[in-house]
A and B are shown apart, each in its own frame.
Chain A
């Protein structure tokens, strides 16, 4: 195959990775301790949960959809897992299983609303977001779930977070690598392999590029769209479970930034390797990029309140990169 790499092609393809490498070198020189293993693990841990959510939302972006409910699904999973253990006094297994099932079910409902009832994706998942944000507060009358809390009927909840469950959020392999990071890497590999290596992923990309053509080629477009939202919901609930295990209580106030951070990571991913389209590898890199930037700036004593501004700036630059430079032709890997 003939290779004609102009400078612009190179910039489009490797520009973002080069920028990231430059950032690492810059922080390595200016911020003491940035290049230590501990710092690397800290970065991974800080992006693990948003990264997992971002991988889920990538699946919906691939079929040209969007899932605004992921943040709410994650916090619902957080509340549900706590409720299952503390109020129903059930085991960690059930806390995880029920939360994942809830995520998948929410995804299925989102998908059905979109393909069967023709509700536009943004509106359907926005509605679902509000519904879940409200629903998760009803059983506890708006309070956080923790051992010893008083239930609405006056009894005291005596269940506890099981140690097995807390391990998910707190255990470190070799006292260094948290399990949540292992989950992130596993999720990234799984989603990447599914989207890039299997026929199902291929057909989902076809749907995202031209749904009509995919349908006339015999693809069941509706089924794959619903599947994409179920993947998104399941990944979001996994993120919620890990957050719950890290916090050790069903905190109603946590998880505010999950949606925006995850969406930002997935959109930054468009620019990685000049893909110009949603992709799992790019999403993981996008999440990592934000993590590196924030960690480095924190170590350089940048104030915390500038974080959102920096994330926004990175996102805007990445989007310009994607759409202005590489165009919307989509550069499928040869």
Chain B
């Protein structure tokens, strides 16, 4: 292997008490595509932000070639030769300007003469575009371009700096198959020119197509790297999702009568229909990669979107919620993922956060709230969940992430439900809070059916009676959590996902 373009050793980064990067050691060689894989919350985006100068590392060293590299700002990273293309395409371009101005934006921003020479600018812009094989009319406004072309423009602009390292953060997430193909051709051209490329993606088909090496990231560390051809894709996914023998002993109870019956459900156009039943006293975990349709499944059950076709029945009656309020009224509750965006009401204390969906239960005629009733419920739930706080009057933001999450779960456990959906309930919580929440889910499961969407397989093994595997917006595997064959699940997570797209390449 040639000298690495960039070498990280022991890079650490924490936000408050939350340690996100726990000593990253990695090397990225020039002329190769290094794929970085990791589940949600593994620390990938933090790592990227450290490399592109948005965050500063707390410790460890980064060597770019022979020189230490610790950019204070994104523009410093750019000047040093580390170029990042972010997930959100519009971050990389100014839509109102034409292609020429976009390609020369960094030059414009860094000064030069006040008046612009259009002809010179266009000539220079054409050179930049040609250098990466981008064929485009440089006088067009960027707003009129397709997403893929915008992406390519932002890459071309980045390449004008002759970078040593190009970081692509989930670049294909909003591109079509044909657009993806163009992007890949450009990436391959850059690789052949000797640029080191760090490619972050969840899409197995992208990874199969491009990867020369794979790094698997988990809990803020690079847990394994794969370089020998043929690459062990399944091993990489396993390393990223983890499957340590769980300490939690699951005793699977007898499932009760079916509560939720789904038949021939199609979550999006072209996805395979699936049918499953969820029973009383059953905890089901749904595992799958990001983009496999877990969120779409949860959204359909909770009435946020309607499935393309198929039937949903709740206790034998049709379940067709048109809004979250319908679902809640029917006894279908969802604790959403990304609690700070979707669940936490920052101005409220613990008590008010817990009672939010059920204020009616705590009201007298005329809608007047009974604060005593609210406090009683809040105290009971805080005790049950083991939320560590001084009192239910504490502001929600004074709690740690794990305790905040316990409050969010408590919100939906405060009232009896028929179906309890928990979307990534273990996201950003410490191991103790994760165990507490998991135990509580199982303890209270006998009166309802519970569906937990998980990011890591460990979480599924810890909490579920039954594990469903999702891929391509459909259920591709259904396993009883009992002497389970982890590699079979891994194969389903990886392979079913790749098959339809691989055919298109």
Contact = CB atoms under 8 A, between A and B. Distances in A.
Contacts of B394: 334
Of the listed residues A1, A203, A210, the one surrounded by the most CB atoms of chain B closer than 10 A to its CB is A210
B239 interface: no
A212 interface: yes
B334 A203 contact: no
A218 B343 contact: no
A2 B390 contact: yes
Interface string A179-209: 0000000000000000001111011011011
A214 B349 CA distance: 15
B360 A199 contact: yes
B347 A277 contact: yes
A209 B345 CA distance: 6
B325 A220 contact: yes
Interface in B369-402: 369, 390-391, 393-395, 397
B369 A206 contact: no
Nearest to B335: A216
A105 to B, nearest CB: 24
Contact of B363 (A199, A208, A209): A199
A213 B352 contact: no
A172 interface: no
Contacts of A1: 390-391, 393
A216 B390 contact: no
Given A1-B390, A2-B390, A216-B334, A198 B369 contact: yes
A200 B359 CA distance: 9
A208 B346 CA distance: 10
A330 B366 CA distance: 27
Given A220-B323, A331-B395, A202 B346 contact: no
Contacts of A218: 324-325, 327-329, 357
Contact of A212 (B327, B341, B347): B341
Nearest to B423: A216
B348 to A, nearest CB: 5
Nearest to A200: B367
A329 B367 contact: no
B395 A217 contact: no
B411 interface: yes
A140 interface: no
Interface in A57-97: none
Nearest to A198: B367
B130 interface: no
A144 B345 CA distance: 49
Nearest to A197: B368
B483 interface: no
Interface residues of B, number: 37
Interface in B290-348: 302, 304, 323-325, 327-329, 334, 336, 341-348
Interface in A254-292: 277
A206 B348 CA distance: 8
A303 to B, nearest CB: 41
Contacts, number: 91
A61 to B, nearest CB: 13
Interface residues of A, number: 28
A202 B324 contact: no
Contacts of A219: 325, 356-357
Interface string A303-334: 00000000000000000000000000111101
A215 interface: yes
Nearest to A2: B390
A1 B350 CA distance: 13
A205 B344 CA distance: 13
Centre residue among A197, A205, A213, A215 by max chain B CB count within 10 A: A213
A202 B369 contact: yes
B107 to A, nearest CB: 35
Interface string B445-477: 000000000000000000000000000000000
A175 to B, nearest CB: 36
Nearest to B412: A217
A79 B39 CA distance: 63
B439 interface: no
Contacts of B336: 216
A220 B386 CA distance: 31
B243 interface: no
A2 B391 CA distance: 8
Interface string A205-244: 1101110111111111000000000000000000000000
23 contacts: A1-B391, A197-B369, A198-B366, A198-B369, A199-B362, A203-B359, A208-B347, A209-B347, A213-B341, A213-B356, A215-B324, A216-B302, A216-B304, A216-B334, A216-B342, A218-B327, A219-B325, A220-B323, A329-B395, A332-B348, A332-B395, A334-B393, A334-B394
Interface of B: 302, 304, 323-325, 327-329, 334, 336, 341-349, 352, 356-357, 359-360, 362-363, 366-369, 390-391, 393-395, 397, 411
Nearest 8 CB-CB pairings of A with B:
A334-B393, A330-B347, A218-B328, A199-B359, A209-B347, A217-B357, A198-B367, A218-B325
Given A197-B368, A202-B359, A214-B356, 8 more contacts: A198-B368, A205-B347, A209-B347, A216-B336, A216-B342, A217-B324, A332-B347, A334-B394
Interface of A: 1-2, 197-200, 202-203, 205-206, 208-210, 212-220, 277, 329-332, 334
